[in-house]
Amino acid sequence: MSKKIIRYSKNDRINDSILKIIKVFYHQVMTQKWQIWIAFKKDFVSSYKHTALGFLWSIILPIIPISVYIFLGYIKAFNVTDNMPFVFFIVSGITIWFYISGTITSMLNAIQKEKSILSKVKYPLVIVLLSNFGKVFYELLLRLGLVIVMFVYYGMSLHLEFIVLPALFIIITIFSLGIGMILAILNEIYPDIKNIVDIFLRYGLFVSSVIFLMPTEGLIGKINLFNPFNTYIVEFRNLLSFGYFDNIYLLSVTSLVAFGLFLLGLKMVYVMEYRIKAYL
């Protein structure tokens, strides 16, 4: 009895529909979610293993970067807003900035970090990317706890509109993952991408309303319309402080772009997976 030989081509996946890609990735995540947890746990534990403070480091290290800005706000080194406490202003902004930039950076580093695992043909690339994202999400939860503490400390009001916060975070997550996946693939083709992104993120902090509110008018205001970092940070802060979005139209357009980037990222990871594994 003759055996059927199946040949795979580097172009096999190019014409697959986005629905098929989503189904494939969903199946991979569902069947290997235990591996995502194990990889996250291993990375998480290694960050404080054999240290004197142990688990406390996993809480201290994500909070330390924010504490610097809290101190600057407390001593009134900056005072750029009159409609909310500046400490809350900067804590809420830096929390979203670290989440988006951290997700992008984790995706960029994931492939090279786990290339020994990826050399195993059956190990999905998307699992490696999501495993590295787990630590970023954990740090987000810690920083959100600090945002809540600041919210209560300054006696800020609860708003019914807070119920849309989960939806906003889903959009921010989709945007961050989409950009991260695209850049991670491009970085394997053009290694300069990582250095370019590092430079962009260093300067992007100062033009995304994290520390200073960016102008909404003039040339800078028009340019910042195309800065999704600024849009998400400003609207997250507005929702927490005032219970509404300042520019729902811009947020809607930015959200549609986020979904497009996410789907493009999925497509690129799906199409390039075998090529990247072969290159590694």
Query: Within a domain: residue 69?
Result: yes
Q: Give the per-residue pLDDT at 70.
A: 76
Whose CA is closest to 229, among 260, 248, 256, 201? 201
**Interval 107-134 mean pLDDT:** 80
**Minimum mean pLDDT among 39-43, 132-136, 180-184, 205-209: which range?**
39-43
pLDDT of residue 62: 76
| Domain region containing 41 | 18-279
Number of Cβ within a 10 Å radius of residue 28: 18
- Residue 11, domain member (yes or no): no
In a domain, 7, yes or no: no
CA–CA separation, 27 vs 7, rounded Å?
Answer: 23
**Comparing 82-91, 103-112, 225-234, which segment has the lowest mean pLDDT?**
82-91
Mean pLDDT of 45-62: 70
- Please check whether residue 5 lies inside any domain of the structure: no
Is 79 a member of any domain?
yes
Residue 77 falls inside a structural domain: yes
Asked if the structure places residue 12 within a domain, the reply is: no
By mean pLDDT, which of 101-105, 200-204, 271-275 is the weakest?
Answer: 271-275
Which single residue is written with the structure tokens 């250095």?
A: 195
Does residue 2 surpass a pLDDT of 60?
A: no
- The SS3 assignment for 226 reads coil
pLDDT in tens, 211-267: 888 777 777 778 888 899 999 999 999 999 888 898 899 999 999 999 999 999 999
Instruction: Look at the chain and report how many structural domains it folds into.
Output: 1
DSSP the chain: -PPPP----TTTTTT--HHHHHHHHHHHHHHSHHHHHHHHHHHHHHTTTT-SSGGGHHHHHHHHHHHHHHHHHHTTS----SSS-HHHHHHHHHHHHHHHHHHHHHHHHHHHHTHHHHTSTTS-HHHHHHHHHHHHHHHHHHHHHHHHHHHHHTTPPP-GGGGGHHHHHHHHHHHHHHHHHHHHHHHHH-THHHHHHHHHHHHHGGGTTSSSPPPSSHHHHHHHTT-HHHHHHHHHHHHHHHSS-S-HHHHHHHHHHHHHHHHHHHHHHHHHHHHHHHH-
The pTM of the full predicted model, rounded to 2 decimals, is 0.87
Q: Note the pLDDT tens digit of each residue in 168-188.
A: 999 999 999 999 999 999 998
Report whether pLDDT(4) > 60.
Answer: no
How many Cα atoms are found within 13 Å in the side-chain-facing hemisphere of 271?
16
Task: Using the predicted structure, report yes or no on whether residue 120 has a pLDDT greater than 70.
Answer: no
Q: pLDDT at position 1, please?
A: 47
Task: Answer whether residue 238 is part of any domain.
Answer: yes
